[in-house]
Amino acid sequence: MDFFSHQDISGTQAEALARGLYTIARVDGVHEREASLIAQLYAESAGGAGTGLSELQRSADVDGAYLAATLPGKDLREMFVKTAWLLAYADGGVSDAERKKIAELCGPLGVDAAAQARLEGAVKDFLLAQLSGLSNTEAVAKVARKLGV
């Protein structure tokens, strides 16, 4: 099973996803890896069209109501939440501020605490699976501990 199921995403939805992720990244300072992840996601989902990363940087933060209005359906909303967790882990760990912002955005999306925990767990599993082929098991174990697995 794919980590992300195929979703048809409009340019407006791609921009909402990117703006939502940028809102999360801003809470503890946008790190280079976070900016790269947002730029890559936006370029791939928007087909290279639309707002660039520099315009996202200047855009206002979004709230959960905006995301709920722009991202219809459970699958698209859960894709946003999984991507939000990937973003939060991109700089090496989830800050309390990032965790709080993700929860705040999830409320209007209809993603409750149990679903948030399930999606975060799926992200941790995905991240660990990327390391499964490494022969340095000590390093893999260290990353697993850092993820709280």
Give me the domain span that covers residue 83: 11-111
Report yes or no on 143 lying in a domain.
no
- Quick check: is 104 in a domain? yes
Q: Is residue 102 situated within a structural domain? A: yes
Run of H or E including 70: helix 64-70
Residue 91's domain is classified under what CATH number? 1.10.3680.10
Q: What is the mean pLDDT of residues 6-25?
A: 90
Q: Which letter, b or e, does each residue of 114-147 get, where b requires 16 or more Cβ atoms within 10 Å of its Cβ?
A: ebbeebbeebbeebeeeeeeeeeeeeeeebeeeb
Specify the pLDDT at position 47: 59
The whole-number average pLDDT for the span 46-52 is 58
Structural domain contains residue 127: no
* 148 within domain boundaries: no
Per-residue pLDDT band at 1 (split at 50, 70, 90): very low
- Residue 132 forms part of a structural domain: no
User: How confident is the model over 92-149, as pLDDT tens digits?
Assistant: 889 999 999 999 999 999 999 999 999 999 998 888 787 666 555 565 556 556 666 5
* Residue 44's pLDDT band (cuts 50, 70, 90): confident
> How many structural domains are present in the chain?
1
Q: What is the pLDDT of residues 62-79, one digit of tens each?
A: 999 999 999 999 999 999
Q: Would you state the pLDDT for residue 8? A: 83
Asked whether residue 31 is assigned to any structural domain, the reply reads: yes
The answer to the question of residue 94 being in a domain is: yes
